[in-house]
A and B are shown apart, each in its own frame.
Chain A
Amino acid sequence: MTTGQSDKEALFRKEVRDWLKANLPEGWGTPKFKWPEPYTREMQTLGEEWQKKTYDAGYTGFGYPKEYGGVERPDWEIRIIREEFVRCGTPPGPYSQGPIMAGMTILHWGQEWQKKRFLPKLLSGEESWCQGFSEPDAGSDLANVKTYAVRDGDDWVVNGQKVWTSNWPFAHFGLLVVKTDLNAPRHRNLSYFIFDTSSPGFTRRPLKEMTGETAFGEMFFDNMRIPHKNLLGELGRGWYVALTGLNAERTVGVGTRITSRRGRGGADNLIDLAKRTTRYGKSIWDDPVYRQKIVQIAIEGEAQRAWGARITEMRNKKKPVDLNVSSASKNFVSESGQRAADVTQELLGAYSQVMRGSPMAVDGGDLVHTILRSRGFTIEEGTSEINRNIIAEKILGLPRDKRGE
């Protein structure tokens, strides 16, 4: 389906499609493609190689100046590239935690040497990144971190624990929010550092989730040293540095990664599934209740696409965009994604129980996996409740309540 595009756009779209056809791994998008086990070295390599290929072709690295390895293109080209990549469901790069979180934060707050040293290899996929934000006692209340750093000569000595770290086993570098002033008030006592995961005193271990996977890990810091020059932003201003990354994650994440399976693409899959599923002697697609539910998912996918296109256009035309709108789209996409997962479960019936690895699993079990995985959508990157607070207070201007100051 098109949304009314010019010849110039159609031509460029074809160019991207041809490139994808020629460069996607053998058998991609068909049952012939042999997926590596998730979160293994093989999976990571698949992503890294894909990132390198797309970077060399100029299909990633947007939003960064050339001098730091960025790729500059008109916005409409970027939009088409994203749409086409999403359409193919390209291999997962190590870049979701790279260009989005780390990259944007370093670009915004980094010293010149940090930008020159870290950004090019981050964009090309050569070096991957993780971030240390959440802690056992600092989830939604992110300012409540307990991990602390003490100055010792040219270094800071870090002790503590982080949880819910993506890309935990492979990251070469990490971003870290730590308390550097035990006496300063909330939001003024944190600092933000870049650390090297090969530093002595650093250990990591898997965190097993309800999906049975270890998509996330835990990180432990036992007298780990970070050179002072790795400080990102000002000392004691780490809270504000962290906000940059969070906003970038919510906004960019919405535009790229999430629309793939949870958008209208998701509805197309559901329609296809419904058409080939027979239950109680009739096709599920002929059941008015299922038709209603599946079409609603398609509508929500289009609403998200239209919303994203509208915000992009506003930015291109230099209209003021309140960055906090990312909270609205984050909620919309994650909640719509959960509704899609609920519909999927109904469609699959008895087969909604059959997991990956079983020969009876429908489409390899990915849909069932999403039923489980989707419960995390409304928690990660800021819970739906925190996002509703942000919308209400930052966009609508309602008074803050009495949660910690």
Chain B
Amino acid sequence: MEYVRNEEQEMLKTMARDFLAKECPKTYVRAMMSDKTGVTPDFWKKVVEVGWPGLVLPEQYGGTGMNFRDLAILFEEMGRAVMPGPFFSTVALGALPILSAGTEEQKKEFLPKIANGEIVMTMAVTELEGDYWPGGVKMAAYERGGDYILSGSKYFVPDAAAADYIIVAARTANSVDLEYGITLFIVKKDDWGIYIDPIKTMDETRKQYRLDLNRIAVPVKNILGEVNDGWPIIKEAMMKGSALLCAENVGGGEWVLETSVEYARTRIQFGQPIGTFQAVKHKLADVYTAVEYSRAIMEWAVEMVKDSDPIAPLAVSMAKAYCGDNYKLITNHGIQVHGGIGFTWDHDMHLYFKRSRSNDTVFGDAKHHRELIANIYD
């Protein structure tokens, strides 16, 4: 594995930063915060033009065949820009699970359309309790005449309004082993009987919804993976998604550090820059250290995923807990160093604060991941 980015990766990073500076300025981010779907067709078209949705998809499915580390580099820059919209959902919760668990027909049907921007996808796992474990999947699906009938509600479904297809987890068998009996269904969102309702969440750059399914029928060909064996697919998607969120956290953390240092150098109180005072300096030194160490553990986790190393689940849980805790600390300090202006709606600091909170929650918070690690050590 390598921590240091190679030349192509440096170019990718520069390109991504330039693209987002131009296409995703804070004016766009803020406009999307009050938008229903969190994305404009024009923005999505440009994202497709630079080839991002198909970045890690093989060429035979319309992608460019780059690797997971490359994808994480994009996510760093997206985190830095607090980019809104369904990119994360489409790639991490749609394209990657289909690529690793889908049938050849499913891959041919969905992946090229993801790569060319025709469709947006997401996944619905969590229910009323808002947790990320197999026991949380209670919604039942039963077989009837060659189809599966799904009824029930899903909560905290990201980007459901923008999505064309939603991969829905439902219980098809009851078992003592909770991981057994979960099946994934690829559901077309405009099917009759599907209702989505936006949840008013703190981080408006990442939309979440309640999803109600009322006796919708899914043909067997739209089952992702094997019947009753959907949990490992979900687990893998959450692992990869978590690694990408860690990259977002590091990218966002760097923005907070740079912005706060600049503020401390230029904000004058008591006749001198506030960055002269050790009380402020020491906070920023801690932010620096938190960003650097988060980067190291994130890059380790991302590389382990890229290499399909058996320790990837452990590495990602460690990174998810560590980067999550630290992004919260970083954004706390960022606001504190800014003082009053950092508490305003007009300053961008709160966008990062809120993203740090939503990223910590998604796929289980730091405490949940520490417990997963403890289970490995049992």
Q: Is B224 an interface residue (CB 8 A)?
A: no
CB-CB under 8 A from A325, the residues of chain B are 292
Q: Bound complex: CA of A370 vs CA of B281, how far in Å?
A: 30
Instruction: Please state if B275 and A331 are interface contacts (CB–CB under 8 Å).
Output: no
Query: Given A331, A332, A393, A399, which contacts B272 in the complex, CB threshold below 8 Å?
Result: A399
Instruction: Please state if A401 and B277 are interface contacts (CB–CB under 8 Å).
Output: yes
Instruction: Please state if B275 and A399 are interface contacts (CB–CB under 8 Å).
Output: yes
CB-CB under 8 A from A393, the residues of chain B are 281
CB-CB under 8 A from B288, the residues of chain A are 328, 391-392, 395-396
Q: Bound complex: CA of A299 vs CA of B320, how far in Å?
A: 10
Instruction: Please state if A292 and B371 are interface contacts (CB–CB under 8 Å).
Output: yes
Known interface pairs A2-B311, A296-B370; A398-B297 also in contact (CB < 8 Å): no
Give A302-335 as 1s and 0s: 1 = Cβ < 8 Å from B's Cβ atoms. Answer: 1110110110011001010000010010011000
Q: Is A388 an interface residue (CB 8 A)?
A: yes
Instruction: Please state if B4 and A306 are interface contacts (CB–CB under 8 Å).
Output: no
CB-CB under 8 A from B370, the residues of chain A are 291-292, 295-296, 299
Query: Given A285, A306, A317, A388, which contacts B282 in the complex, CB threshold below 8 Å?
Result: A388
- For residue B318, which residue of chain A has the nearest CB? A299
CB-CB under 8 A from A310, the residues of chain B are 3-4, 295-296, 299
Most A C-beta atoms less than 10 A away, residue of B285, B286, B371: B285
Q: Is A4 an interface residue (CB 8 A)?
A: yes
Q: Which 4 A-B pairs have the closest CB atoms?
A: A392-B281, A398-B275, A391-B285, A388-B285
**What 5 new A-B contacts, CB under 8 Å, besides A295-B371, A398-B280, A399-B272?**
A4-B309, A303-B294, A307-B296, A310-B299, A392-B275
Instruction: Please state if B261 and A396 are interface contacts (CB–CB under 8 Å).
Output: yes
CB-CB under 8 A from A292, the residues of chain B are 367, 370-371, 374
Q: Is A363 an interface residue (CB 8 A)?
A: no
CB-CB under 8 A from B281, the residues of chain A are 388-389, 392-393, 398, 401
Query: Given A295, A303, A309, which contacts B373 in the complex, CB threshold below 8 Å?
Result: A295
- For residue B314, which residue of chain A has the nearest CB? A1
Give B111-146 as 1s and 0s: 1 = Cβ < 8 Å from A's Cβ atoms. Answer: 000000000000000000000000000000000000
Most A C-beta atoms less than 10 A away, residue of B289, B294, B300, B378: B289
Instruction: Please state if A306 and B296 are interface contacts (CB–CB under 8 Å).
Output: yes
Q: Is B159 an interface residue (CB 8 A)?
A: no
- For residue B323, which residue of chain A has the nearest CB? A303
- For residue B372, which residue of chain A has the nearest CB? A295
Chain A nearest Cβ from B6, distance in angstroms: 9
Known interface pairs A4-B309, A292-B370, A396-B261; A307-B293 also in contact (CB < 8 Å): yes
Q: Is B307 an interface residue (CB 8 A)?
A: yes
- For residue B5, which residue of chain A has the nearest CB? A319
Instruction: Please state if A317 and B297 are interface contacts (CB–CB under 8 Å).
Output: no
Known interface pairs A303-B293, A303-B322, A397-B265; A4-B285 also in contact (CB < 8 Å): no
Q: Is B264 an interface residue (CB 8 A)?
A: yes
Instruction: Please state if B2 and A313 are interface contacts (CB–CB under 8 Å).
Output: yes
Q: Is A404 an interface residue (CB 8 A)?
A: no
Q: Is B157 an interface residue (CB 8 A)?
A: no
Q: Is A400 an interface residue (CB 8 A)?
A: yes
Q: Bound complex: CA of A294 vs CA of B375, how far in Å?
A: 12
Q: Is A288 an interface residue (CB 8 A)?
A: yes
Instruction: Please state if A299 and B322 are interface contacts (CB–CB under 8 Å).
Output: yes
Q: Is B233 an interface residue (CB 8 A)?
A: no
Q: Is B244 an interface residue (CB 8 A)?
A: no
Q: Is the interface of A mostly helix, strand, loop or mixed?
A: helix
Q: Give 9 A-B contacts (CB < 8 Å), ordered by A residue.
A: A4-B1, A299-B321, A302-B297, A314-B4, A328-B288, A385-B278, A385-B282, A388-B286, A391-B285
CB-CB under 8 A from B272, the residues of chain A are 399
Interface residue range, chain B: 35 or more
Q: Bound complex: CA of A17 vs CA of B268, how far in Å?
A: 58
CB-CB under 8 A from B371, the residues of chain A are 288, 291-292, 295
CB-CB under 8 A from B289, the residues of chain A are 328, 331-332, 391
Q: Is A194 an interface residue (CB 8 A)?
A: no
Q: Is B25 an interface residue (CB 8 A)?
A: no
Q: Bound complex: CA of A317 vs CA of B288, how far in Å?
A: 23
Chain B nearest Cβ from A247, distance in angstroms: 17
Instruction: Please state if A332 and B293 are interface contacts (CB–CB under 8 Å).
Output: yes
CB-CB under 8 A from B65, the residues of chain A are none
Chain A nearest Cβ from B192, distance in angstroms: 45
CB-CB under 8 A from A328, the residues of chain B are 285, 288-289, 292
CB-CB under 8 A from A300, the residues of chain B are 322
Instruction: Please state if A302 and B278 are interface contacts (CB–CB under 8 Å).
Output: no
- For residue B264, which residue of chain A has the nearest CB? A398
Chain B nearest Cβ from A232, distance in angstroms: 31
Q: Bound complex: CA of A328 vs CA of B267, how far in Å?
A: 25
- For residue A272, which residue of chain B has the nearest CB? B377
Query: Given A4, A291, A294, A395, which contacts B303 in the complex, CB threshold below 8 Å?
Result: A4
Q: Is A3 an interface residue (CB 8 A)?
A: yes
Q: Bound complex: CA of A302 vs CA of B377, how far in Å?
A: 15
Instruction: Please state if A396 and B296 are interface contacts (CB–CB under 8 Å).
Output: no
Instruction: Please state if A392 and B292 are interface contacts (CB–CB under 8 Å).
Output: no
Q: Is B234 an interface residue (CB 8 A)?
A: no
Q: Bound complex: CA of A388 vs CA of B284, how far in Å?
A: 9
Q: Is B304 an interface residue (CB 8 A)?
A: yes
Q: Is B273 an interface residue (CB 8 A)?
A: yes
Chain A nearest Cβ from B183, distance in angstroms: 31
CB-CB under 8 A from A307, the residues of chain B are 292-293, 296-297
Chain B nearest Cβ from A50, distance in angstroms: 31
Q: Is B174 an interface residue (CB 8 A)?
A: no
Q: Is A122 an interface residue (CB 8 A)?
A: no
Q: Is A298 an interface residue (CB 8 A)?
A: yes
Query: Given B3, B285, B295, B318, which contacts A309 in the complex, CB threshold below 8 Å?
Result: B3
Q: Bound complex: CA of A45 vs CA of B273, how far in Å?
A: 54
CB-CB under 8 A from A396, the residues of chain B are 261, 284-285, 288
Query: Given B284, B309, B367, which contacts A392 in the complex, CB threshold below 8 Å?
Result: B284
Q: Bound complex: CA of A328 vs CA of B291, how far in Å?
A: 11
Q: Is A102 an interface residue (CB 8 A)?
A: no
Instruction: Please state if B276 and A319 are interface contacts (CB–CB under 8 Å).
Output: no
Q: Is A271 an interface residue (CB 8 A)?
A: yes
Chain A nearest Cβ from B249, distance in angstroms: 13
Instruction: Please state if B276 and A401 are interface contacts (CB–CB under 8 Å).
Output: yes
CB-CB under 8 A from B374, the residues of chain A are 291-292, 294-295
Instruction: Please state if B1 and A3 are interface contacts (CB–CB under 8 Å).
Output: yes
CB-CB under 8 A from B297, the residues of chain A are 299, 302-303, 306-307
- For residue B367, which residue of chain A has the nearest CB? A292
Q: Bound complex: CA of A298 vs CA of B321, how far in Å?
A: 12
CB-CB under 8 A from A295, the residues of chain B are 321, 370-371, 373-374, 377
Q: Bound complex: CA of A4 vs CA of B303, how far in Å?
A: 9
In chain B, positions 254-274 with a C-beta closer than 8 Å to chain A are 261, 264-265, 272-273
Chain A nearest Cβ from B344, distance in angstroms: 23
Most B C-beta atoms less than 10 A away, residue of A299, A309, A395: A299
CB-CB under 8 A from A291, the residues of chain B are 370-371, 374
Q: Bound complex: CA of A227 vs CA of B327, how far in Å?
A: 55
Q: Bound complex: CA of A331 vs CA of B292, how far in Å?
A: 13
Most A C-beta atoms less than 10 A away, residue of B273, B277, B286, B307: B286
